[in-house]
Structure 1
Amino acid sequence: MTEWNVASAAQHLLDAEAEQRDITPITDEWAELDVETAYRVQDEVIRLKQAEGHTVTGVKLGLTSRAKQQRMGISSPLTAVITDAMVLGAGVPVPLDELIHPRIEPEIVFVMGRELKGPGVTAAAAMAAVETVHAGFEVIDSRFKDFKFTLPDVIADNASSARYIVSARGFDPEGLDLALEAVLVRVNGSVIDTATGAAVQGHPGEALALAANSLAERGRSIPAGALVLTGGLTDAVFVNPGDQISAEFTTLGTIVTAGSAA
């Protein structure tokens, strides 16, 4: 029997990630794991990654769609941490041999021009702190079997973070209508989903403000230069060996990736 605490839960998740194996929800055995403690587990996961040489590059939001929030019984997104070890460069396929059951989703990504610190941040104030806007993909890979988990489980698991791709070209947020920014997702040439930026809290700037205010509750801020993955615009799709996946944005351009060969 595992003696559950913040340290053992963090190591349990890291072991699952390293060994590419799925696990049952931690809350199945540690029923006392609540949201506050889960964020402490997430912090310990990141601390251990930093001890291995990983560098924090920014933050991401999870459960940004209102439908997903209703299913999980929450009213705002959760936050998680991204690192340089999660970056996929242009032309680099999703490394399926390093992951468990990856899914991919298109995102609008911000690069912060200055620090954003809550509480009380509005969407307008959040957008004023953004330097550039990019097209992005996030590859999520829950360590839990069949992507089934409670809210504390997914927070502890760093919101299923695995890999991310950000377009090289960035756009000045001035003049962009991000609520209407559309994306068309293709897999192997076939359109499988479409959405607009309004799918993320009505506007990605609202998600950014929520992230800043949520982090402030734990004494954190979003620093200048940080990347912010604002949340999936569409449902995530599984990545299979050899799949060619693209996201075509109205203004932000097109990004393309593939699942590594079997």
Structure 2
Amino acid sequence: MEQQKIEQLGDELYAAMRECRTLAPLTDRESDITVEDAYHISLRMLNRRLDLDGEKVVGKKIGVTSKPVQDMLGVFQPDFGFLTDAMVYPDAADIPVAGNLIQPRAEGEIAFRLKKDLVGPGVTEADVLDATETIIPCFEIVDSRIDDWQIKIQDTVADNASCGVYVLGENEVDPKDFDLPNLKMKIYKNGEFHSEGLGSAVQGNPLTAVAWLANTLGEFGIPFKAGEVILSGSLAPLIPVVAGDEMRLELEGIGDCSCKFV
């Protein structure tokens, strides 16, 4: 894809995000778009945020890692994107919907906080464990700038992996003390049990998902950096939310995370 077209589509996605509106799927308009094209579109969108809004990259994310999410979205391979300092909310935060989000859905995840750089390719699960300072209960609020979530893998990669905002719980623990594939998460919506999942939902092990992301971004020359937060993917199906909804999750033996939409 020509650089001019990449910049045009990245600018369109940035404007849609800022104006809280959606676009027709890119894959309907550009039939030959590749995942690599989509990645470069996402970089253009990201650089608009950094250059025009003064945001800073503070981490990365992997998405569409679990079968329930893949089945829900009709996307059958993981996506990947960037986290900025403007996306993060503290535990129990009120998250505004109007003027901030378009068609949000909540995901219960395990976040990784790194203490060492990781540079792919060649990163293993053992490397990820060694480089991780803590894991944290987390909600990612995904939000697509594409009409009615009608996305293919190229659409979601171009749209920064459909990332909206994320919420980190207060408790942070050493992952070496836990059996990550068998960590159980329970999710509650408006005080009622909604769903549950295990760490194994994300590529069999959250460490595997994070290693995949490090290696995938490494192919584009993008490292993980010490201090960054890495979101490892949803353990359960996506949950649509609107203003007035309250979400809470419990990560067994570790702690909880909550937020309210206003």
Q: TM-score range by the shorter chain?
A: over 0.9
Query: 1:202: Cα distance to partner?
Result: 0.8
Structure-to-structure mapping, 1:190-205, within 5 angstroms: 190-205=192-207
SS of corresponding position for 1:179:
helix
**1:160 counterpart (159, 162, 181):** 162
Q: Does 2:59 align with 1:61?
A: no
Q: After TM superposition, what 4+ stretches of structure 1 lie above 6 angstroms from structure 2?
A: none
Query: CA-to-partner distance for each residue in 1:132-159, whole Å, 9 max, x for gaps?
Result: 1100000011011111111111100001
Instruction: Output the CA distance in 1 between the equivalents of 2:92 and 2:191.
Output: 17
Aligned to 1:181: 183
Query: Equivalent residue for 2:96?
Result: 95
Report if the CA contact (8 A) 1:66-1:201 is conserved.
Answer: no
Alignment CA distance shift 1:65-1:90 (3 Å): closer
Q: CA–CA distance in 1 between the matches of 2:4 and 2:225?
A: 33
Conserved in 2, the CA contact under 8 Å of 1:115 and 1:222? yes
Q: Is the 8 A contact 2:107 2:235 kept in 1?
A: yes
Q: Structure 2: which amino acid aligns with 1:212?
A: A
Q: Aligned with 2:182: secondary structure? A: coil
Structure 1 residues 2-53: Cα deviation after superposition (integer angstroms, max 9, x where no partner): x971111011111111111122101211222211111000111111111020
CA distance in 2 between counterparts of 1:249 and 1:73 reads 26
Structure 2 unpaired stretches of 5+ = none
Distance 1:247 1:47 in 2: 33
Give the counterpart of 2:75 among 58, 72, 75. Answer: 72
What TM-score, normalized to structure 1? 0.93
Distance in 1 (CA, whole Å) between partners of 2:22 and 2:37 is 22
Q: Number of paired residues?
A: 256
In the alignment, is residue 234 of structure 1 matched against residue 236 of structure 2? Answer: yes
Partner of 1:15: 15
Percent identity, aligned pairs only?
Answer: 34
1:86 maps to a residue whose letter is M
Which deviates the most, 88-97 or 15-24? Answer: 88-97
Q: Which amino acid aligns with 1:72?
A: V
State how 1:105-120 maps to structure 2 within 5 Å. 105-120=107-122
Asked whether the equivalents of residues 57 and 84 of structure 2 are also in contact (C-alpha less than 8 Å), the reply is yes
What are the within-5 Å matches in structure 2 for residues 120-135 of structure 1? 120-135=122-137
Contact 2:64–2:76 under 8 Å retained in 1:
no
* Backbone CA RMSD of aligned residues: 1.6
Matched residue SS, 1:149: coil
The two structures have a TM-score, normalised by structure 2, of 0.93
